[in-house]
Structure 1
Amino acid sequence: MDFKVFTIIATIVNFLILLAFLKHFLFEKVSNAIDERSNNIKNTIDKTNSDREEAKNLKIQVEENLANSKLQGKNIVEDYKGRAEKLFQDIKKEASNEAELIMERAKKDVEREKEKAEEELKKKVVDLAVILSSKALEKDINEKEHRRLIEDFITKVGM
């Protein structure tokens, strides 16, 4: 094998020129592209992690809001149940009071009718007594005097 020093030196110089040329024009651009792509991937991963955390927080917040909404709904239903029960009790009490008033009025009406009937009965008894006593005595006594005597008699007897 025959080595030629000039060929070796020329090959080394060519290699160094090619290396400098590639380093200057190609390696830097490739390195920048790789760094940029690496940064993009890192940013995408960071954004994904950030979005995942945000989604997790939103899910927790939505679950809390849902639980609060359910609790508020339950409270509203309980409130309306309480109001409905109170309204029912008020209506029931009012109806009971009105029924008592009607019963009292009816009792008073019955009492008045009873007193009225008693008065009419007294008058009829007095009239009958006057007629009977007139026929029995067969004499003409003043009718006013007769009525007064009979009413006194009835009062004393307790009719």
Structure 2
Amino acid sequence: MNLSVQLSTIIFTMINFIILLFILKHFFSKPLNKIMDDRKDGINKSIKNAKDNEEKAEISRKEEDRLLHESKTKGRKIVEEYKANAQNISQEIIDEAKKESIILMERSRVEIEREKEKAESEVKKQVIDLSLILSEKALEQHIDEKEHRRLIEDFIFKVGS
């Protein structure tokens, strides 16, 4: 009998377990599955967000690299343009200085020529005056000054040529 009681207890326990299992499945299976599905969806979203953020970070890094390269290229180009402009301005200043020096030399040459002609004229005048004085002293008489000047100028012109 002892065996039958135990067998009946085992059967009764199994039936209770199966009933309990159906009750648990009926009341707790859906909420538990929902919690598990929600957790699974949350993890999947986190993984997807992480991948999206990683892709965005990679795109941003590539964009920053491109912008950095462009800015370096533009910087070099600007420096080269300023360098070329500086060389052009330097060359213009040198050319302008050369022109100014040529003009100054030409003015100086003209001024020297004028001064030379003025000095020659002054020397001629003094020679004429001296010749007039000498000829008056030599002749001991007074010749018409206009005539005498004309004669001396002719003489100087012939000697100067």
For residues 90-117 of structure 1, the C-alpha deviation after alignment (integer angstroms, 9 at most, x for no partner) is: 0111111111111111111111000000
Distance 1:26 1:70 in 2: 65
Distance 2:26 2:154 in 1: 149
TM (norm. structure 1) is 0.93
Deviation at 1:16, TM superposition (A): 3.2
Q: What SS is found at the alignment partner of 2:4?
A: coil
Structure 2: any 5+ residue segments left out of the alignment?
Answer: none
Q: Give 2:88's aligned amino acid.
A: K
Equivalent in the alignment of 2:141: 139
Equivalent in the alignment of 1:103: 105
1:55 to 57, 65, 82: 57
Equivalent in the alignment of 2:24: 22
For residues 125-156 of structure 1, the C-alpha deviation after alignment (integer angstroms, 9 at most, x for no partner) is: 00000111111111211011100111111112
Distance 1:139 1:8 in 2: 183
For residues 11-53 of structure 1, the C-alpha deviation after alignment (integer angstroms, 9 at most, x for no partner) is: 4443333122211221211111111111111111111011101
2:71 to 48, 69, 72: 69
Q: Give 2:64's aligned amino acid.
A: V
TM (norm. structure 2) is 0.91
- Number of aligned positions between the proteins: 159
Q: Percent identity?
A: 47
For residues 48-94 of structure 1, the C-alpha deviation after alignment (integer angstroms, 9 at most, x for no partner) is: 01110110111011011101100100000000000001000101111
Structure 1: any 5+ residue segments left out of the alignment?
Answer: none
Equivalent in the alignment of 1:33: 35
